[in-house]
Amino acid sequence: MFGFGKARTHREIDPAELNVMLQQGSVLLVDVREPEEFAAGHIVGAINLPLSGFSPRNVPDAQGRTVVLQCAGGKRSGIALEKCGEAQSAIDTHLAGGIGAWKAAGLPVVTG
């Protein structure tokens, strides 16, 4: 019975690593917070696919980039990663600490 009930391992990246990936254009950043949270402040280049209706099938073609999920603190992006695992999606990475960690690192957000 080895392996049954075992949680899938997810990759966590920190804000500095995500920042480099964004600068290199090697990431498709998906913010799974709700639209009003996204509008109040988000990471430049992020697209909004709220967890409330999240499906890995709705993630646009990453065109060879790494898909990284992100939320406010890491919990909702973790839930979205679980949905990706259940759907056998290749998406397995999220921002540790979410946008809260991004802001704490002094990195910029945009509104609107």
Domains of the chain: residue spans and CATH: 11-104 (3.40.250.10)
pLDDT tens for the chain, 112 residues long, are: 344 444 557 899 999 999 999 999 999 999 999 999 999 999 999 999 999 999 999 999 999 999 999 999 999 999 999 999 999 999 999 999 999 999 999 999 998 8
Residue from 32, 69, 71, 80 carrying the catalytic annotation: 71
Q: What angle do CA 16, 41, 37 make, to 5 degrees?
A: 115
pLDDT of residue 6: 46
According to DSSP, residue 48 is labeled: E
Helices (H) and strands (E) in the chain, counts: 4, 5
Distance CA 70, CA 14 (A): 11
- 84 is a catalytic site residue: no
pLDDT of residue 2: 46
- pTM for the full model? 0.91
Q: Which amino acid is at 109?
A: V
Distance CA 36, CA 63 (A): 28
pLDDT of residue 83: 95
